[in-house]
Amino acid sequence: MQIEEAHAQATHMAARTDDAGVFRAVGLRVLTQVEQNAGLMRLLLCSAFKVDAFAALEGHALAHILFESKVHRLHAFLSGYIETRIADGVVRPLNPVIAAQGFVGMIVDSLLLHEIYGIPRPVDYSLEQAVETFVTLFCNGIRP
């Protein structure tokens, strides 16, 4: 799934106020994209931790561009959606930025374990099942 296609799907789900659909589209997009190119995760880590030696190898400027164009945009989309759902009374009052970070954190932790540290994914558990688990945990946790 291409980034633009996944963003369009998440936006469509947001317009329908399909909370699980929004987070499912985002989670699957991120996991699929990084699984196809683990170098993206290394670039983001490089940017996050300002690892100069690794940055020189991977291209620090590229890491910054990736962060601004992908990660920042993702967090802004999710926190804005959560803020809207708080106003609708469907999500308990909480900091939408921190809530978005929490959801993304589940995805990133999975990526770190499997793509960076090389821990094999369970063979009988697909990316879709992993995302569904994250979505269920998150959506049930933020409801009043």
106-109 — which CB contacts under 8 Å span 24+ positions?
106/27, 106/134, 106/137, 106/138, 107/27, 107/30, 107/31, 107/131, 107/134
For the chain, which domains are there?
Answer: 3-142 (1.10.357)
pLDDT at 55: 47
pLDDT at 1: 46
Between the alpha carbon of residue 109 and those of residues 14, 70, 112, 117, 129, the distances in Å are 25, 17, 5, 11, 16
Kindly report the pTM of this predicted structure: 0.78
pLDDT at 61: 59
Nearest to 6 by CA among 101, 90, 73, 86: 73
pLDDT at 33: 79
CB 135 within 8 A of CB 23: yes
pLDDT in tens, the chain (144 residues): 455 666 788 888 999 999 999 999 999 988 887 777 767 666 656 555 454 445 444 555 555 555 555 667 888 999 999 999 999 999 999 999 999 999 989 998 988 888 778 899 888 989 899 999 999 999 998 776
